[in-house]
Structure 1
Amino acid sequence: MSILIAGFQHETNTFAPTKADYEKFVHGGGYPPLSRGSELDAIKEMNIPLGGFMKQAEEYGYDLIPVLWAGAAPSAHVTEDAYERICSEILDAVQSNLAALQGVYLDLHGAMVCEHLDDGEGELLARVRALIGNDMPLVASLDLHANVTDLMLESASVLVTYRTYPHVDMADSGLRSAIEMHALLNGEKRYLSYKHWPFLTSINAQCTFIDPAKSTIEFMEQLEKNVASISLTTGFPASDFEGCGGTVWGYGTDQLNIDTAVNILYQRILDDEALWDVAFLSPEEAVAKAIELSKDAKKPVIIADTQDNPGAGGDSNTMGLIKALLAAKATNTAVGLITDPKSVAIAIEAGIGNNVELALGGCDSVPEDSPLVATFKVENISDGCCQYDGPMMNGVKVSVGPTVCLAIDGLKIVACSDKAQMLDRNLFKQAGVIPEDMGIVVVKSSVHFRADFQPIAKEILIAKSPGPLTVDPADIPWKHLKKGIRLKPHGREF
């Protein structure tokens, strides 16, 4: 039996400053670069859904037809050109191999919004379904932050999601997708049941290392013992369209049984609604607390600069938290990554050991933000290449372009040319900074950093410094949400 496999991932913050064009997918931006055909074999050893699916499907003895895998760093809308070019490759491959196919697997994100359409994954799944007909299994894996739409659920045979945030189980979700594909190909029936969450919640509240997300996932897995598959997504609360929000769904061999399980999980989420809210520290509060906690500490205090998280659409260049650190005279502090190719080029030209005048960073779309104009010492220059060794995306090789370590008044700032979320300690180490040796470490991330940084942290603080990613959904200037959805737990309705 032959299964066609492909991946197309993007998490879209419709309020972000920069769009994802085709070249962003070619480069990858912290993900593997666009890969085709036999190049997908390299993904098999990575913590990526497609890799998990490939391993399990090959164990079952299926022949795989690899098409492509494309992913780009979260940003504003995917351009029409990028979406249609990548979709066309997938659809052309489906069409040309149709006579030999028994199934199709897609490694998707679930929160893709494009210039010309709101529901990128729903549209792709519907186009594939139109080609393969109603009977062929079409299975897809989704991110925990997917905004799961009716079109996605109606087009796919089965949808499976990650169950961790940070996403340390991406390959496992691909494996579970292969198990569901195997069941479908062996004639098992799947009945669908689903409910959409009636409220939005901040991405910071969705971390499965802590409650309520942790206990909710555990509760879901207990329910799954009595059904074929059950999933939930917390949604990506920065995609301004009617399908934005969390969803609970599942599949069973009996409609009543799966309806019951989904209703129980949905009610659990409603009962815990207040727990899905989260509080934040101001930059000044976070810095003051970090300085106090770091005194005589043997582990660094980690501050998450969550509103400039490039993993959710930020450009990783705001200076608010750095200015707060300098004002408080923080020392033995590392900050990363700051994306500023112009400043990096100037620093490289100046050379290691030399001082250089820079206007570092600054996000034009954030009125409260501005560049840091100062003199920096160039401490290190690197090519920006490394391999992730942490639990998330383990084994993935990335490049953030030419990179420098800039020193100023007790701070070591790692500045790079291409943005990537600080989710692995090797992104610091490739620039000569050892985060374990620092007193305070500031990361441009919201939650993913926890996978590799939490084991070395004395404490983790979440700072709400001005940035393009508004982490409290009640503060976002929504225009297109579904009427009646609450903008935060027990908050006002849209």
Structure 2
Amino acid sequence: MVSKLRRRVAVGALMQEGNTFVPRMTTFEDFERYFVWRGEEMLAGYRGMRTEVPGFLSILEAEGVEVVPLTAAYCVAGGVLARGTFDRLVSEMEAALKAAGDVDGLLLALHGALVVDDQPDGDGEIIKRMRAILPHPLPIGVSLDLHGHITPLMLQPATFHVGYQAFPHIDMFETGQKTARMLLDAIETGSVPAMALAKRHMLISPTCTRTTDGPFVEFVDLARKMEAQGEAKCVSYFCVQPWIDVPDLGFAALVAGETQDLAQQAADKLADAVWAARNNFFPELCDVREAIEIGLASPGLTVVSDAGDAPTGGAAADSAFVLENLLAAGAHKANRLTYLTLCDPEGAALAHRIGIGGPIHTKVGHAFTPNLGMPIEIDGLVAHTSDGRFQIDDGGATGLWVDMGPTATIAIGAIRLVVRSAPAMEWDRGIYTSQGLILADGVLAFAKSPSHFRHSFGAIANRILVANTPGVTPPDMRRIMFRNVTRPLFPQDE
């Protein structure tokens, strides 16, 4: 319980996951498509969500602590963040913190893999700039995504960090709650946990970092056991966003402990255990044509990960590769439906102009990535149009509004192609159901996501396959063309 003499905690958020292989920079307008909230707008804007900041607020409000809202900005993963946009957002947060007067601590919701065009560690810079304003030793608590790129710059004085425990990310709210509880404890005791970092230069494919099943589960269990046995207060594991070409990239164990020595021992123990098992993290992938053939020949619904074009990894979600292979395999002539999405603003706009029921002949694909492939011609009927907005309700970022921009469903025989105007996360079945599509009628459904889609789509899938598709988010770590990472890097190097 926080002391009655200390009753004010500032709260801010700036979340974006970078991908340095994306040719287009992330701008302020990309954040506006999701949200940029200032001051009291935050409290109303987050209402109904189950993400980190609502987790913060639930604990602070229950303890009677005055919340001082700063700035909250969110954007789906994409290219590196332009310095001007970064400074604009961080400067607003700095100004709000300075104007807040006396506070007893600060809670920050960050991703951990934000890359600025001139700074490989945007999150570290945010923490450092906030630390420079908040008098030492007042504590800062930071929540982070499990795929954060953790660096020494983040380990500012009197600052502790808490990472998601789950992937798929269904514990954002709970992570926020845990971070807030630890902050209130630090305020009451006057003591911030010691933080220790252990890095190993290795990459684990996001298709292998699930905490529900697969090769990483034993290390999740080890982390929780270390906490239960008192070896550490909080053990976080960061499997890292692998599609950022920055120095010191790799797996990180980050531990909050009673002392620096104990925390470092725990961090090294977890990092060493993961490193020893590095050969177990090669994903089970299949060729996309094989996945299509399995789906068309099998009973029930086959859900396929188009992992190479994942917008939550920063991809533009505009690849025509899967559609081209579906047409070549005759999926449009099947007796059951196939569902997929593709980002193509001009195609969506044309479908809106034609209207529902009208014939459409156009080229779609690679609107943002002409260097990665060619558009393909399609002939179909406009089956549905919408503004492309829907709210996630299948776990993960529950309550978050997703904005795909003007969106249209085009029927190409038995194929239902959802053509949208902007990349958006494909964690939730809402990418289809919000467009009037009934997945139970399908034989194949594609999700541009390496793993998180399993939480939502797994409930209706008879089988799940991961296709080794091309793009800027390849699931095979050996296919990433790095230039700036610290070498040797496993599995890139022997």
Which band: TM-score by shorter chain? over 0.9
Residue 303 of structure 1 aligns to a residue in which SS? Answer: strand
Tell me the CA shift for residue 255 of structure 1. Answer: 3.7
Write the letter of the residue equivalent to 2:85. Answer: A
Tell me if 1:377 matches 2:381: yes
Tell me the CA shift for residue 264 of structure 1. Answer: 2.4
Superposition pairs of residues 2-151 of structure 1, within 5 angstroms? 2-28=8-34, 33-41=35-43, 42-97=45-100, 99-151=101-153
Residue 121 of structure 1 aligns to a residue in which SS? Answer: helix
Q: Which of 155, 180, 183 is residue 181 of structure 1 equivalent to?
A: 183
Tell me the CA shift for residue 277 of structure 1. Answer: 1.6
Tell me if 1:205 matches 2:211: no
How far, CA to CA, are the matches of 1:301 and 1:472 in structure 2? 21
Tell me the CA shift for residue 253 of structure 1. Answer: 1.6
- Look up the match of 1:166: 168
How far, CA to CA, are the matches of 1:342 and 1:465 in structure 2? 24
Tell me the CA shift for residue 409 of structure 1. Answer: 2.6
Once the two structures are overlaid, the 10-residue window that deviates more, 304-313 or 250-259, is 250-259
Tell me if 1:311 matches 2:312: yes
How far, CA to CA, are the matches of 2:195 and 2:283 in structure 1? 32
Write the letter of the residue equivalent to 1:125. Answer: I
Q: Is the 8 A contact 2:197 2:267 kept in 1?
A: yes
- Look up the match of 1:263: 268
Q: Which of 277, 280, 292 is residue 285 of structure 2 equivalent to?
A: 280
Tell me the CA shift for residue 347 of structure 1. Answer: 1.0
Q: Is the 8 A contact 1:189 1:252 kept in 2?
A: no
What does the per-residue CA deviation read over 1:404-443, in whole Å, with 9 as the maximum and x for residues that have no partner?
A: 1101131001111121021111221121111122111111
Q: Is the 8 A contact 1:392 1:452 kept in 2?
A: no
Superposition pairs of residues 417-436 of structure 1, within 5 angstroms? 417-436=421-440
What does the per-residue CA deviation read over 1:303-355, in whole Å, with 9 as the maximum and x for residues that have no partner?
A: 11111111111111111111111111123333343111111111111111111
Percentage of matched positions with identical amino acids: 26
How far, CA to CA, are the matches of 1:322 and 1:425 in structure 2? 19
In structure 2, relative to structure 1, the CA distance for the partners of 1:198 and 1:116 (3 Å cut) is closer
In structure 2, relative to structure 1, the CA distance for the partners of 1:110 and 1:441 (3 Å cut) is same
How far, CA to CA, are the matches of 1:433 and 1:77 in structure 2? 34
Q: Is the 8 A contact 1:317 1:361 kept in 2?
A: yes
Residue 451 of structure 1 aligns to a residue in which SS? Answer: helix
Residue 17 of structure 2 aligns to a residue in which SS? Answer: coil
Tell me if 1:245 matches 2:245: no
How far, CA to CA, are the matches of 1:381 and 1:2 in structure 2? 47
- Look up the match of 2:361: 357
Tell me the CA shift for residue 147 of structure 1. Answer: 0.2
Tell me the CA shift for residue 366 of structure 1. Answer: 6.0
Tell me the CA shift for residue 289 of structure 1. Answer: 1.8
Tell me if 1:157 matches 2:163: no
What does the per-residue CA deviation read over 1:231-290, in whole Å, with 9 as the maximum and x for residues that have no partner?
A: 110011111111322210211223443333223222221222111221321211211122
In structure 2, relative to structure 1, the CA distance for the partners of 1:333 and 1:465 (3 Å cut) is farther
Superposition pairs of residues 285-434 of structure 1, within 5 angstroms? 285-293=290-298, 295=299, 297=300, 300-330=301-331, 331=334, 332-362=336-366, 365=369, 367=371, 369-434=373-438
Q: Is the 8 A contact 2:251 2:271 kept in 1?
A: no
Tell me if 1:193 matches 2:203: no
Matched residues, number: 481
TM-score (structure 1 length as normaliser): 0.94
Q: Which of 468, 484, 490 is residue 480 of structure 1 equivalent to?
A: 484
Write the letter of the residue equivalent to 1:480. Answer: N
- Look up the match of 1:235: 240
How far, CA to CA, are the matches of 1:288 and 1:280 in structure 2? 15
Tell me the CA shift for residue 359 of structure 1. Answer: 0.4
Q: Is the 8 A contact 1:107 1:140 kept in 2?
A: yes
How far, CA to CA, are the matches of 1:222 and 1:57 in structure 2? 28
Residue 24 of structure 1 aligns to a residue in which SS? Answer: helix
Q: Give unmatched runs, 5+ long, in structure 1.
A: none
In structure 2, relative to structure 1, the CA distance for the partners of 1:366 and 1:465 (3 Å cut) is farther
Residue 163 of structure 1 aligns to a residue in which SS? Answer: coil
How far, CA to CA, are the matches of 1:189 and 1:55 in structure 2? 21
How far, CA to CA, are the matches of 2:78 and 2:158 in structure 1? 26
Moved over 6 A (4+): none
Q: Is the 8 A contact 1:17 1:75 kept in 2?
A: no
How far, CA to CA, are the matches of 1:366 and 1:399 in structure 2? 23
What does the per-residue CA deviation read over 1:331-389, in whole Å, with 9 as the maximum and x for residues that have no partner?
A: 33333431111111111111111111110122564656221212111111112122211
Residue 380 of structure 1 aligns to a residue in which SS? Answer: strand
Q: Give unmatched runs, 5+ long, in structure 2.
A: 1-6
How far, CA to CA, are the matches of 1:12 and 1:308 in structure 2? 14
How far, CA to CA, are the matches of 1:154 and 1:37 in structure 2? 25
Write the letter of the residue equivalent to 2:267. Answer: V
How far, CA to CA, are the matches of 1:96 and 1:222 in structure 2? 43
How far, CA to CA, are the matches of 2:309 and 2:219 in structure 1? 28
Residue 459 of structure 2 aligns to a residue in which SS? Answer: helix
How far, CA to CA, are the matches of 1:400 and 1:264 in structure 2? 43
Tell me the CA shift for residue 155 of structure 1. Answer: 4.8
